[in-house]
Amino acid sequence: MRALISLLRPLAGLFVDDGLLALAVICIVLLTALLASLMPSMTLAAGVILLFGCLLALLTNVLRAARHKRVR
Amino acid sequence: MTTWTVAAPAVSAAFLSSLVEAVEALTIVLAVGTVRGWRPAGLGALAGLALLSLIVVLLDPLLYRVPLHLLQLAIGVLLLLFGMRWLRKAILRAAGVIPLHDEAKVFATETAELRDQQRHYEAQLDWFAALASFKAVVIEGLEVVFIVIAVGAGRGLIVPASIGAIAACVLVAGAGLAIHQPLARVPENVLKFAVGTMLSAFGVFWIGEGLGVPWPGEDIAIIAFAALFFLVALVAVALGRRLRIEALQ
């Protein structure tokens, strides 16, 4: 089990550094997918939410890290 | 049909990210070679490359079995996570919130650790040394493999992306062999900034494609997304720097 965890940790580390940013990205993607499937005529709007949601998530995450100086 | 607008960002993203990863792997391999000799360093690195080749060979046919929109969606999410992770780190480094990656320091730390192990485990050290070299190549190489597959799989660009990646690795290996020192002068953070921007843009694009979003301009949208990510990243650096200074006062 320990060996499996030590193997998977670097793999997970490829994609997740800050848990909050990863969570925000996943939530935005889920919201986009939900919008696109519920309102097929509004897929472009869902795409705009995806793009600007990610930009906003990045900006707020970085500013939060800079404010708190608690960065891994 | 493969267009230059989508092939160029894919090839350059693969080339630049491979440059960063190859420099990091080279630092460890050089440290191993300097302390323990080039045989275990070379063998470990070759074993790592063999494992990476095996992963590519095994993954390639599997990718063609996945429906295209699912592949685009899955790869898009992973690319977005990967790209935004790099971009976040590059912004924080550029803003002075976290220190810049220092290859010379990594080299010094790694050689010190190996010399320490040399004192304690003389008999087994060749194994430790080869393993350190192997691990560095595999861990950094996995990122290269992922990027090549991610930027290439959605539009049949794996071969051009692979050529970009291999060119970067050959360039770094050649430079490392020539100077026998870590490539500390490579502007790693600038590269990470650029690659993070590109990969995030690719991620948004592929997720949208997977969900059926009709992006205006189709492939050209990637360039517009990259420009937006770059702009926001520059704003984040400026604001982050200001906040950091205020926090210090």
What is the per-residue pLDDT across B94-145, written as a single tens digit (0 to 9) for each?
A: 988 887 777 777 777 877 777 776 666 665 667 777 888 898 888 888 888 8
- Side chain identity at A54, as an amino acid letter? C
Q: How far apart are CA B170 and CA B240, in angstroms?
A: 36
Contact flag B81-A22 (C-beta cutoff 8 Å)? yes
Q: How far apart are CA B108 and CA B27, in angstroms?
A: 10
pLDDT digits 0-9 by tens, B145-159: 888 888 777 677 788
The confidence band for A61, taking pLDDT boundaries of 50, 70 and 90, is very high
Asked if residue A11 belongs to a domain, the reply is: no
Please state whether the predicted TM-score (pTM) of the whole model is above 0.90. no
pLDDT digits 0-9 by tens, B169-196: 888 888 887 877 766 666 778 888 888 9
DSSP for residue B97: S
Residues from B in contact with A at Cβ < 8 Å: 73, 77-78, 80-82, 84-85, 87-89, 91-92, 95, 97-98, 139, 142-143, 146, 200, 204, 207-208, 211-216, 225, 228-229, 232-233, 235-236, 239-241, 243-244, 247
Q: How far apart are CA B204 and CA B249, in angstroms?
A: 38
The residue range of the domain holding A33 is 16-68
Q: What are the Cα distances from residue B222, in Å, to A49, B111, B168?
A: 16, 42, 23
Q: Within 13 Å and on the Cβ side, how many CA atoms surround B30?
A: 26
Q: How far apart are CA B225 and CA B216, in angstroms?
A: 11
Asked if residue A60 belongs to a domain, the reply is: yes
Who among B82, B204, B212 is closest to A51 (CB)? B204
B208 interaction partners in chain A (CB closer than 8 Å): 32, 47, 50
Contact flag A40-B81 (C-beta cutoff 8 Å)? no
Dihedral angle over CA of B17, B25, B134, B40, nearest 10: 150
Q: How far apart are CA B233 and CA B61, in angstroms?
A: 37
Asked if residue A10 belongs to a domain, the reply is: no
- Which candidate in A17, A18, A37, A58 is best for mutational testing of the B interface (most B CBs within 10 A)? A58
Who among B211, B213, B236 is closest to A58 (CB)? B236
Asked if residue A9 belongs to a domain, the reply is: no
**Contact, B59 vs B131, CB < 8 A?**
no
Asked if residue A2 belongs to a domain, the reply is: no
Domain count within chain A: 1
